[in-house]
Amino acid sequence: MWFAQSIEVIPAVDVLGEGAVRLERGDYDAVVERGGDPLALARRWAEAGARRIHLVDLDGARSGRVRPELVRAVAAAGIPVQASGGIRTLDDARSLLDAGADRVIVGTAAWPDPTPWLELGDALVLALDVRDGEVRAAGWTSGAGIRFDDALDHVAGRRVLVTAIDRDGTLTGPDLALVRQAVAAGARVLAAGGIRDVADAAALAEAGAEAAVVGRALLAGAARAS
């Protein structure tokens, strides 16, 4: 079962407009799955055994505006939330934490220098969304001004979400090399992109990741139980 692994499996609930979706490779025009009401979906995963929800505001990621109400609705149901999408300032991050998130994921505004964000302490997750060796920003629509290899100089001891963009939503398997690089740099890695099944989750655990963020495989019912 997904939620009985040695690695924590965190279901992704990606919200576009008012509905849960899965995109392929971050392309807003390539919706490959629809999951209906985000709150109902989050509750479904919690009832199945998930200990945390990865809540992504896709509109916010592109526009740079946060929607604390999304976090508030899920957190009010008693489900721990790591929130992402639209965080451009420390006040944005604090508004999501005040709404009930226990972690915030910061990508666009964190690079090329994440130092100002470190005051968030263990509530901070730095996002490394990687395509062709470059960290991407603004809903993956532009470069963040830093290469992945250089960003790794900033991650020792930090919790980091490493996403292989070209595998995201494709069910083609995770990029274990990216994960191993981040682990070798001293990061506490949450891994995303391409995860198909519990065997992939186990492979990520072996590569040193502390958690796997899983979207399409869960939403499509593509898991192969072991």
Residues annotated as part of the active site: 14, 129
Provide the 10 A C-beta neighbour count for residue 143: 15
Q: What are phi and psi of 97, to 5 degrees?
A: -65, -40
Cα–Cα distance for residue pair 149/70, rounded to 1 Å: 33
Cα–Cα distance for residue pair 55/25, rounded to 1 Å: 17
Using CA atoms, how far residue 194 sits from 32, 53, 126, 162, 223, in Å, is 13, 18, 20, 12, 12
Backbone CA torsion sign across 31, 35, 38, 43: negative
Cα–Cα distance for residue pair 136/129, rounded to 1 Å: 5
